[in-house]
Structure 1
Amino acid sequence: MAADESSQWLFTEDEVLSAPSIIDGLSPTEERCRRAKGVNFILQAGIMLKLPQLTLATAAVFFQRFYMRKSMVPEKMGVHHYNIAATALFLATKTEENCRKTKEIVIAVAKVAQKNASLIIDDQSKEYWRWRDSILLYEEVMLELLTFDVVLQSPYTILYDQLQKLRIEYIKPLRNVAWAFLNDSSLTTLCLLMPAKDIAIGAIYFAAKFLNDTIPDDENGNPWWELLGGEPDKIVRAVGILAEFWSDNPLKRTENPYGEAASSGDDLDRTRGRSEGASSMALSSPDAPSMNGVEPKNEQVSTPTKRKNENGEEEGLVEEPASKRQKSEDHSQ
């Protein structure tokens, strides 16, 4: 059974707010910030290693789960979030069978840690051995705390299956925004709060909402989310969690792709296409290409860009947020 189906990795919001780091004195805001920085570390190193997005998402889940069992406060025998980010990435390359040489991973994480992609790192440097020893040490700790439960049910794979079930998998704009929602969700604790299926349904809802599109009801006139087994409360909550995260803006980003993402049951209902036929987006985009038979698990990380925080400091290579990414694509078409 996939780990996402196990209740040991699903928590209430109160339980997330009682994580070991918070018990050890971190404020919920600071703990959330460090989690986001750790996942961002994974994304930057992964882009440097040209790893598929699924592998990076798996690493992010390992990272988030680890800190439900262990503190990130060094003064309280905790482990720094960058050390665990590097270890989670190393472990994910194995479990997702996208292996890279240990040396390549060590060099990548060392460069990200130093915020210098041009940094010269080799196996003769102290920095190299410090990161290598850290990764190998904490890999065993991570496996034990995860109870060797490393087979995940990915929302990316579920997303594409759901789009096929709704017969809208060929609608490129909607598919891209939904995929971007999943990318952004990895920065949050969403994977700790609901199963992968509900996260994927939330991504479809956000995409339809963002594009002001509708999704056809099923042949019996039932809402599209019922066909997928979705629950309105969970769907709205998934988008709300991301909207709250970007409102808090722990990474100090200058853009907020979820600034107008306030959601409600009525808002969800407006994504229903009650008339027969394809969605409005499908009709306006007849030439939208399909995935060409490629499953989401093979999709690569999109082209990264340089992003700066509010202080003007470069944070490294990261993906554009959903809104900006979609506008760029529309402009190029």
Structure 2
Amino acid sequence: MSTALYPLASLEQIEKTPSREDGIPYELEEDLRAHGCKLIHEAGILLKQKQVAVATAQILFQRFWYVTSMKQFGIGDIGMGALYLASKLEECPVRMRDLINVYDLLQQRTAHTRATMIASASAPSSSSHPTKEFRYTPMSYFGSTFYDLREALVIAEMQVLKRLGFNVHVVLPYGTLVNYLRVLGLTDRTDVCTRAWGYLNDALQTPVYALYAVPTIVCAAILLTVRHLGIALPSAPENRWWELFDAEWEDLWSVCGYIMRLYRDRSIEDRTRVMGMLSKKGVRQWLDEHKTVDPQT
């Protein structure tokens, strides 16, 4: 498949990402990627942004971490920059101040949620410690917080362009999904269309759009859908439906694995750890704390 149409990571980048070379474990990097994409999605909803811009931003965000380490740039800043850039690429630009205000809200809410979870985990009886309701404190119009976030936004957008070599072409999967469902005769099933569409959106929280071509990802979403709904499609060796779309079974199964891992249960410790690593400062602090694990160091 042409990498000009589907810009994909190289095998070397996949085997050892810059973040893993800096000491971030694979599962932690995967969780940080997913959380960064969730923030992009939430910001898009609050800004009433088009889904095409949100999806483009999430794909650019995932690509970025195959050329740069999370030790150098925070996932919050890069997510904000990716969404700002994608809004321009999809011709639905947002005001810089609106985007900054929304991300400030999301970061405050994340910090409040993290503090609440830590307090609940440490307190044996939650009834004696009632949970405080989150209240957003707007930043000062002329305060340093806004100007710091604006500078971070400008730098993040510039770094996404620079480190991706201005190769920001993105092919979204939604039109391909509709065509494939039409070929398979499933367009009259609302539950199939809704669930498959949902899997494609969930897959944006994973690196699959930087690893596999869109037809493979769409076929994986259809596979998960028909498996969960109990719909039979031709799968005999001489008549496999996914081969009609030039997809390989091993690739389909791999994409399905990425998507299904999103739904696994995570401990409070894992969730609070991710929430505390939205900035490069948090990542570096975590790395410093875990340098002493190896007695040889």
**TM-score normalised per structure 2:** 0.74
Quick one: distance in 2 between partners of 1:65 and 1:137?
Answer: 17
Residue of structure 1 in register with 2:229 after alignment = 211
2:213 to 195, 201, 207: 195
Give the Å deviation of 1:156.
2.1
1:56 to 45, 54, 57: 54
Q: What letter corresponds to residue 69 of structure 1 in structure 2? A: V
Give the Å deviation of 1:120.
2.3
What is the CA RMSD across the aligned residues, in angstroms? 2.9
**TM-score normalised per structure 1:** 0.67
> How many residues in Structure 1 have an aligned counterpart in Structure 2?
248
* 1:297-316 mapped onto 2 (5 Å cutoff): none
Tell me if the contact between 2:9 and 2:66 (Cα under 8 Å) persists in the aligned partners. Answer: no
* 1:155-304 mapped onto 2 (5 Å cutoff): 155-215=173-233, 222-247=239-264, 249=266
Whose helix fraction is larger, Structure 1's or Structure 2's?
2
Quick one: distance in 1 between partners of 2:208 and 2:267?
Answer: 15
* 1:5-20 mapped onto 2 (5 Å cutoff): 5-6=5-6, 9-12=8-11, 15-20=13-18
Residue of structure 2 in register with 1:319 after alignment = none
* 1:33-48 mapped onto 2 (5 Å cutoff): 33-48=31-46
Measured against aligned partners, the alpha-carbon deviations of 1:228-279 in whole angstroms (never above 9, x if no partner) come to 22222222221122223433748989xxxxxxxxxxxxxxxxxxxxxxxxxx
Give the Å deviation of 1:63.
0.8
Residue of structure 2 in register with 1:66 after alignment = 64
Measured against aligned partners, the alpha-carbon deviations of 1:82-137 in whole angstroms (never above 9, x if no partner) come to 11011011111111122112221111111111116744246423322221111112
Higher RCO, Cα 8 Å, sep 6+: 2
* 1:36-185 mapped onto 2 (5 Å cutoff): 36-73=34-71, 78-115=72-109, 118-121=136-139, 123-185=141-203
Q: What secondary structure, in the 3-state scheme, does the structure 1 residue paired with 2:253 have?
A: helix
Q: What letter corresponds to residue 236 of structure 1 in structure 2? A: W
Tell me if the contact between 2:80 and 2:156 (Cα under 8 Å) persists in the aligned partners. Answer: no
Tell me if the contact between 1:3 and 1:153 (Cα under 8 Å) persists in the aligned partners. Answer: no
Q: What secondary structure, in the 3-state scheme, does the structure 2 residue paired with 1:148 have?
A: coil
Quick one: distance in 2 between partners of 1:66 and 1:155?
Answer: 20
Q: What letter corresponds to residue 91 of structure 1 in structure 2? A: L
Measured against aligned partners, the alpha-carbon deviations of 1:262-313 in whole angstroms (never above 9, x if no partner) come to xxxxxxxxxxxxxxxxxxxxxxxxxxxxxxxxxxxxxxxxxxxxxxx799x9
Give the percent of matched residue pairs that are identical in Structure 1 and Structure 2.
26
Quick one: distance in 1 between partners of 2:233 and 2:96?
Answer: 45
Q: Unaligned 5+ residue runs, structure 2?
A: 110-133, 276-297
The verdict on how the C-alpha distance between 1:110 and 1:2 changes in structure 2, with shifts beyond 3 A counting, is farther
1:29 to 20, 27, 30: 27
Quick one: distance in 1 between partners of 2:201 and 2:148?
Answer: 30
Quick one: distance in 2 between partners of 1:58 and 1:242?
Answer: 18
